[in-house]
């Protein structure tokens, strides 16, 4: 009878070395060939100290990989751009890696605004966020100086919460000598507002809210269910919006499907 040592051993799982680029530095991270981006985040945390929940791994087209995206599908050479903007831990880690050097961060807003579905212009401006030698696209929304405390509170309450229908707020800043507050939002997250979408369809003679028999359309019912799902999660986190209106509701276009609801809880969030 063969002893355990004589039994055939399974070959070790193949590994892939992924070059994770963060703030101008490459970090080699080894993961199993059958791993996904979620596992890459955990391994990246071991290498850099940056928490997984604050990582965004971007593809060459500056779009975020989903956690279930297979590592094996990354185009050779296997690389990702790592982004983390408004987290104090990330700031401290950056300083440690660069020997106490203060990272050079800047945000540049353009005059171009996102054009809504009905042809009007939204209040979201296109911009660029630069951290060290890395530059990414972003969206920027302007607020009054008195909104600052409320905005910071909302960012603090939602920064560790990832939800597919939640519009991610990255950071808040103001320019020297100008008290106008500028809220930085993740890029490629919205294509227009829910109100603009309703208006554009109405102009074409289509009612996307109700059917002829008075019941909700499939599209509007999905919007309601997605909104309720987000509110349910907020209640479980013991927070709730004090105000919620059409100005908080945006849409992201999806190829061959109805747009996805994106909610911006920028102000008026209460904590129990």
Are 196 and 181 found together in one domain? no
Are 44 and 59 found together in one domain? yes
Q: Is the pLDDT of residue 245 over 70?
A: yes
How many whole angstroms separate alpha carbon 187 and alpha carbon 185?
6
- Please state whether the predicted TM-score (pTM) of the whole model is above 0.75: no
Q: Is 39 within the bounds of a domain?
A: yes
Are 84 and 44 found together in one domain? yes
Are 178 and 114 found together in one domain? yes
**Per-residue pLDDT tens for 117-174?**
999 999 999 988 776 666 778 899 999 999 988 888 888 877 777 788 888 887 888 8
When divided into structural domains, the chain yields a total of 3
Name the band, by pLDDT with cuts 50, 70 and 90, for residue 208.
very high
Q: Is 10 within the bounds of a domain?
A: no
Are 118 and 69 found together in one domain? no
Kindly report the CATH number assigned to the domain that includes residue 86. Answer: 3.10.20.90
Residues belonging to the chain = 272
Kindly tell me the sign of the dihedral angle through the C-alpha atoms of 185, 189, 194, 199.
Answer: positive
Are 201 and 220 found together in one domain? yes
Helix (H) or strand (E) holding 232: helix 218-236
How many whole angstroms separate alpha carbon 204 and alpha carbon 178?
42
Burial class (CB in 10 A: 0-12, 13-18, 19+), 237: middle
How many whole angstroms separate alpha carbon 17 and alpha carbon 27?
10
Are 218 and 256 found together in one domain? yes
Q: Is the pLDDT of residue 35 over 70?
A: yes
How many whole angstroms separate alpha carbon 98 and alpha carbon 174?
25
**Per-residue pLDDT tens for 159-185?**
777 788 888 887 888 876 778 888 988
Q: Is 142 within the bounds of a domain?
A: yes
Q: Is 76 within the bounds of a domain?
A: yes
Look up the domain containing 142 and give its range.
109-160+170-185
Name the band, by pLDDT with cuts 50, 70 and 90, for residue 205.
very high
Q: What residues have CB less than 8 Å from 20, skipping those under 6 apart?
A: 26, 27, 28, 29, 40, 44, 47, 48, 57, 79, 80, 82
Which of the listed residues 60, 76, 97 is the one where a domain comes to its end? 97
pLDDT for residue 7: 56
């Amino acid at each position: 009878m063969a002893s355990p040592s004589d039994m055939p051993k399974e070959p070790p799982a193949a590994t892939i070395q992924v070059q994770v680029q963060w703030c101008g530095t490459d970090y080699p991270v080894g993961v199993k060939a059958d791993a996904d981006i979620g596992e890459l985040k955990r391994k990246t945390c071991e290498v850099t100290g940056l928490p997984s929940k604050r990582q965004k791994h971007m593809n060459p087209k500056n779009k975020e990989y989903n956690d279930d995206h297979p590592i094996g599908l990354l185009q050779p050479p296997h690389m990702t751009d790592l982004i983390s903007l408004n987290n104090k831990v990330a700031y401290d880690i950056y300083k440690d890696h660069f020997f106490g050097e203060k990272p050079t961060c800047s945000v540049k807003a353009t005059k171009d605004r996102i054009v809504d579905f009905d042809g009007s212009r939204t209040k979201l401006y296109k911009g660029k966020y630069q951290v060290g030698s890395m530059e990414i696209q972003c969206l920027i929304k302007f607020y009054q100086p008195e909104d600052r405390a409320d905005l910071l509170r909302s960012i603090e309450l939602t920064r560790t919460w990832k939800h597919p229908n939640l519009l991610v707020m990255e950071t808040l800043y103001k320019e020297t000598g100008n008290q106008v507050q500028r809220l930085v939002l993740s890029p490629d997250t919205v294509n227009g507002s829910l109100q603009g979408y309703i208006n554009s369809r109405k102009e074409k003679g289509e009612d996307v809210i109700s059917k002829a028999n008075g019941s909700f359309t499939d599209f509007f019912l999905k919007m309601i269910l997605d909104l309720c799902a987000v509110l349910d999660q907020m209640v479980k986190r013991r927070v709730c919006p004090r105000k919620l209106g059409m100005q908080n509701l945006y849409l992201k276009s999806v190829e061959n499907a109805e747009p996805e609801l994106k909610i911006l809880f920028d102000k008026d969030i209460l904590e129990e």
